[in-house]
């Protein structure tokens, strides 16, 4: 099975946190209780933004940045001379 896209509008929050655990930081920074919530398997980023009255486009950018920052760090570690 191929990995879902980070910006998939239909992906549940539980799947988002499972695939990209680092994205939870974007939620926690805004004091959102989504990581660990029993409703996370049923809610999407859109649902969370509606519940917390957030601008969805702006928040999606924050989530994407959180996901990309770890990916960049991991790629840099793989390319660094120390990791060889």
Domain count, the chain: 1
Answer whether 0.85 is exceeded by the pTM. Answer: no
Domain contains 28: yes
Q: What angle do CA 51, 53, 57 make, to 5 degrees?
A: 105
CB 35 within 8 A of CB 41: no
Domain contains 66: yes
Tens digit of each residue's pLDDT (9 = 90 or more) over 5-45? 888 999 999 999 999 999 999 999 999 999 999 999 999 99
By percentage, how much of the chain surpasses pLDDT 70?
A: 79
Domain contains 25: yes
Q: How far apart are CA 53 and CA 59, in angstroms?
A: 11
- Where in the sequence is the domain holding 29, given as residue range(s)? 10-33+43-70
Tens digit of each residue's pLDDT (9 = 90 or more) over 44-80? 999 999 999 999 999 999 999 998 875 544 444 444 4
Domain contains 5: no
């Amino acid at each position: 099975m191929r990995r879902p896209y980070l910006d998939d509008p239909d992906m549940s929050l539980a799947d988002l946190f499972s695939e990209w655990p680092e994205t939870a930081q974007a939620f926690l920074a805004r004091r959102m209780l989504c990581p660990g919530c029993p409703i996370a398997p049923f809610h999407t980023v859109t649902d969370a933004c509606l519940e917390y009255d957030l601008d969805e486009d702006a928040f999606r950018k924050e989530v994407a940045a959180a996901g990309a920052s770890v990916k960049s760090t991991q790629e840099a570690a793989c390319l660094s001379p120390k990791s060889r």
